[in-house]
Amino acid sequence: MTTVRVELDQRAYDIRIGAGLLGRDTFADVAQPKARALIVTNTTVAPLYAQALQQALEPHFAEVLQCVLPDGEQYKDWPTLNRIFDALLERQCDRKTTLFALGGGVIGDMTGFAAACYMRGVPFVQVPTTLLAQVDSSVGGKTAINHPLGKNMIGAFYQPRLVVADVETLRTLPPREVSAGLAEIIKHGAIADAEFFGWLETHMERLRALEHDAVVHAVRRSCEIKAAVVAQDETESGLRAILNFGHTFGHAIEAGMGYGQWLHGEAVGAGMVIAAGVSERLGLLDPASAVRLQELVRRAGLPVEAPALPLQRYLDLMQVDKKNDAGNVRFVLLQGLGGAVLRAAPQDLVTSSLLAHGAIRDASPAMSGPGSPASRTAGSLAA
């Protein structure tokens, strides 16, 4: 087992990474022998891993309960979140109850948000079982549900007490979900560590085959990068926004297509390519580096083209983004490979990159001429 520490003073916590951690005594230091634990999971993960976690927790808690939710991004919503509160209240769970998020990012984000709200805050532990959740969503305390008009729009910053990433659980993950996790790993290299980006170029096939040493290295390095950013800027007043590279376009794709159609990691993959295109057009990123990023995304099994929505639809969707400032859309752009900046970008460059990567220009003159809806949006996008 290897451990990464998220340094947040009184709320610092460990990320434990290794094989077989669910079957070992990994949870002793979050034990509450007189209190209850509630495992929150979904219909796909429960039959695979809930029993193992139940057994690992039983020696440490008075009672271990389970709440099994429907599976899918489309259930990251109010009614499904309420089912966690129903489970807690039906069993009269008190404020010592610890929630365990067993699953991918959807379960992690919802369980964390439920833990932040229930009785104004109860402890929670992340037990991520997807690659994406192990390298990204289980770390850093962003918790949320989606709104039809925007991704992760209702939520809280609320840190877990512990993260346990058992890489053995990845063996049952469909290849498409492995690729989705690789998107966030590539993101970490692209924004913060050019050497790691180069390592990913060399080891992409080993990662897609889930070779143990390669996976542990990628999970660990991703967690180190994310933990260092979160420790400096927990609530995204500045630096933390770099973790959103690819997400302005990615979230527009997810919401625009309907949650669950494109996986989050797929949307981020295409979103990073489009954001690199904007960076290149602004002269922040050299063309060869933009090609390297696109090629690595493609080799990860991810789309490098956005879905063919009308350009104006993309521009409208991007108006709903937490990074926006007084109506100005702000993008995380690459400043060379391994560096990132948050800034607005001229509309024509954003449009040009979107059109180069799949968005469709509306053929109607009324939609594309001066004074059209597209050109009105231009004003609020300008730097």
Ligand X SMILES: O=C(O)C(=O)C[C@@H](O)[C@H](O)[C@H](O)COP(=O)(O)O
Catalytic residue set: 120, 142, 184, 226, 236, 240, 244, 247, 251, 264
The reply to whether 129 sits near ligand NAD by the rule CB under 6 A is yes
Binding mask 141-180 vs ligand NAD (x if CB under 6 A, - otherwise)?
Answer: -x---------x----------------x--xx---x--x
Binding mask 119-148 vs ligand X (x if CB under 6 A, - otherwise)?
Answer: -----------------x---x-x------
The reply to whether 292 sits near ligand X by the rule CB under 6 A is no
Whether residue 149 contacts residue 255, with contact meaning beta carbons closer than 8 Å, is answered with: yes
User: Which range, of 128-136, 157-165, 315-323, 373-381, touches ligand NAD by CB under 6 A?
Assistant: 128-136
Tokens 């590279």, residue located: 245
Residue ranges in 4-43 that form contacts with ligand X under rule CB under 6 A: none
Residue ranges in 172-211 that form contacts with ligand X under rule CB under 6 A: 184
Tell me which of 111, 130, 222, 279 binds ligand NAD, using CB under 6 A: 130
Tell me which of 37, 114, 132, 241 binds ligand NAD, using CB under 6 A: 132
Rounded CA separation 242/189 (Å): 12
Nearest distance in Å: CB 116, ligand NAD: 12
Rounded CA separation 106/77 (Å): 10
- Report the sign of the C-alpha dihedral through residues 19, 21, 26, 27, in that order: positive
Whether residue 28 contacts residue 14, with contact meaning beta carbons closer than 8 Å, is answered with: no
- Residue 299 phi/psi, 5-degree rounding, is -70, -20
Q: How far is CA 283 from the centre of its chain?
A: 28
Rounded CA separation 115/158 (Å): 8
Give the DSSP letter of residue 129: -
Residue with CB nearest ligand X?
A: 152
The reply to whether 133 sits near ligand NAD by the rule CB under 6 A is yes
Contacts of 288 (CB under 8 A, 6+ apart): none
Residue 50 to residues 115, 216, 227, 260, 328, Cα–Cα distance (Å): 19, 23, 27, 24, 45
Residue ranges in 145-164 that form contacts with ligand X under rule CB under 6 A: 151-152
Q: Which residues are annotated as a binding site?
A: 71-76, 105-109, 129-130, 142, 151, 169-172, 184, 247, 264
Q: By the criterion CB under 6 A, which residues form the site for ligand X?
A: 136, 140, 142, 151-152, 184, 236, 240, 243-244, 247, 322
